[in-house]
Amino acid sequence: MNLTNISTVKSILSRHGFNFSKGLGQNFIINPDICPRIAEMGNASKGYGILEIGTGIGVLTKELALRADKVSAIEIDTRLMPVLNETLDGLNNIKIYNQDVMKSDLHKIISEDFSGLKAAVCANLPYYITSPVIMLLLESRLPIESITVMVQKEAAQRLCAKVGSRESGAITVGVNYYGTVKQLFNVSRGSFMPSPNVDSSVIRIDIDPKIKLEPNEEKFFFHMIHAGFSQRRKTLANSLSSIMGFSKNDVYSALSELEIPETVRIEALTMEQLTDLSRKLMTIN
């Protein structure tokens, strides 16, 4: 069954009485070039188990299953289950979980389903939870090699910004803390049904298994990052004193030990400066 043929897709969906949910970010890929590229650039190959988030009617799921040993996919919308039974019929290396990714035990899924395989994540993410899903995947320290996902173009720009630049945000620090990220290719809004108001980009995060901070330091670090970026126009001393309760003098002395100006804003600091500063502030806390 050709899952990028518009009339085929329309006829399956109407037969199942399915209508798109905007709230669940349902924009399905109908451009035939996109899913094979995501699968190929996202580690879907022999020896891999791929975790997919949000199957829709299974257009990417199918391309992943044709290349990888196993695919486990999480889809929240129960109405899509009978559709997937039909669209993925005949592919016997796919397991579908009808549940919310944010409430899923991803460690369990990966260890039970992908035993003996390397693992990676591939998805066309529902845009309303792009950052929470990416941070969940990273913070859970899943045994995965990479995360290859389609996101809104603006989100891709923020994710792929340089830490220490004006374009960066808490999510930029997050992905660069856990790995390296790059933008792979852009996808126009016309590649989806229904067509969203924005263009998209596919990005890939390669996970760095080396740990930069201890778990308790890591918690403090992300608290500091969120505090700093939630008031990014303020100086770091101002935002950390108002949100984390530090005295400005404590922040000033930590900054001066690191030879960073007192007036600095969080967006100007490099990853190394951020981890050093968090270690110093943690000893004061």
Binding footprint of ligand SAM on the chain (CB under 6 A): 24-29, 53-56, 59-60, 74-77, 100-102, 124, 126, 129
- Smallest distance from the beta carbon of 150 to ligand SAM, in angstroms? 7
Contacts of 211 (CB under 8 A, 6+ apart): none
Residues 139, 106: Cα–Cα separation, whole Å:
12
In contact, 117 and 48? CB cutoff 8 Å: yes
Tell me the residue number closest to ligand SAM, measured at CB: 54
Tokens describing residue 140: 């859970």
- Residue 73 pairs in a beta bridge with 52, 96
- Smallest distance from the beta carbon of 129 to ligand SAM, in angstroms? 6
Residues 165, 215: Cα–Cα separation, whole Å:
26
Residues 4, 263: Cα–Cα separation, whole Å:
53
Q: Which ranges of 16-152 would DSSP assign to H, the alpha helix?
A: 34-41, 59-67, 81-87, 106-113, 130-139
